[in-house]
Amino acid sequence: MRWWIWLLAGLMPVSGASAAPTVVCRGAGHDRWLPYSYELPDRTMAGAAHDILEQALAMVGLRYERRLVGPWKRVIASLETGAIDIVAGAFPTAAREERFLFSTPLSEVPIHIFARTDRQPTFERWEDLRGKRMVTSLGNSFGDAWDRFARENLEIVWTSSVVEGVRMLRAGRVDFAVSPLDAGRLAVRAAGLEGLLVPLPRPLTVVSLSAVFAPGSPCADRLPDINRAVERLRADGEIERILDRHREIRS
């Protein structure tokens, strides 16, 4: 009888025992990329990509923790070393897809040429841009085909932010700037250059913005579930509502 009592005691739950800990997914992103990922004055991270991920991860029982890492190159290096689990928002390239795992797209992002209103280049196809001087933010990649064309046919000037790039464009130091449409418009507004710089009507290209996961992260193990959650947010219109909120940011 005594051994039976001991067996039952071993099977009974212990009062006050803690539940299995929630998996925490450490996320970072570009610190100057409105409306997708940016640093606030209190040194916390904000942006549409972070908000979308936070909701999607919560839907599958994961917790999203925002980390301020710094410039883009440091963010990617942190993903490679495992210091973070997720980058909130990047465009896929062949090189990146060899090293990391990409989520289903959070958004489809049109990439546009920004020009001075008094010096708008003719643009119907990429060939029209040969020999021009272009500015874009450090670390930007807008698809393998465009990246290769730009390297081989344009003079590229790199800056630390979209705002810095549009100011350089206004000063006449480059022929045009290349940026995601929302980010470029917000940068023009933040620099006080509305009416002086405009996006050309035709997009240069359209790319998918996705979350990027470190392959060894436990968060990456839930990627199929996270993808389904992102698709639910898209179908409900929540992703577009999140983007609209961040499009109103003026800083």
Q: Is 15 domain-assigned?
A: no
Q: Is 2 domain-assigned?
A: no
248: pLDDT confidence band, cut at 50, 70 and 90? confident
Looking at the fold, whether 180 and 227 belong to one and the same domain comes out as no
Q: What is the CATH number of the domain that holds 75?
A: 3.40.190.10
CB proximity list for 251: less than 8 A, separation 6 or greater:
34, 190
Looking at the fold, whether 85 and 142 belong to one and the same domain comes out as no
pLDDT digits (tens, 9 = 90+) for 36-60: 999 999 999 999 999 999 999 999 9
Q: Is 10 domain-assigned?
A: no
Domain span at residue 175 reads 109-206
249: pLDDT confidence band, cut at 50, 70 and 90? low
Q: Is 95 domain-assigned?
A: yes
b (16+ CB within 10 A) / e for 56-77: bbeebebebbbbebeebeebbe
Beta-bridge mates of residue 101? 213
Domains identified in the chain, total number: 2
pLDDT digits (tens, 9 = 90+) for 210-232: 999 999 999 999 999 999 999 99
Q: Cα(16)–Cα(107) distance, rounded to whole angstroms? A: 44
Looking at the fold, whether 42 and 85 belong to one and the same domain comes out as yes
CB proximity list for 170: less than 8 A, separation 6 or greater:
116, 191, 193, 196, 197
Q: Cα(122)–Cα(99) distance, rounded to whole angstroms? A: 38
Q: Is 13 domain-assigned?
A: no
Looking at the fold, whether 113 and 202 belong to one and the same domain comes out as yes
- What pTM did the predictor assign? 0.85
CA distances from 119 to 156, 185, 196 (A): 18, 18, 10
Q: Is 11 domain-assigned?
A: no
- pLDDT at residue number 4: 36
Mean pLDDT, range 200-218, rounded to an integer = 96
Q: Can you tell me whether residue 59 is helix, strand or coil?
A: helix
Q: Is 1 domain-assigned?
A: no
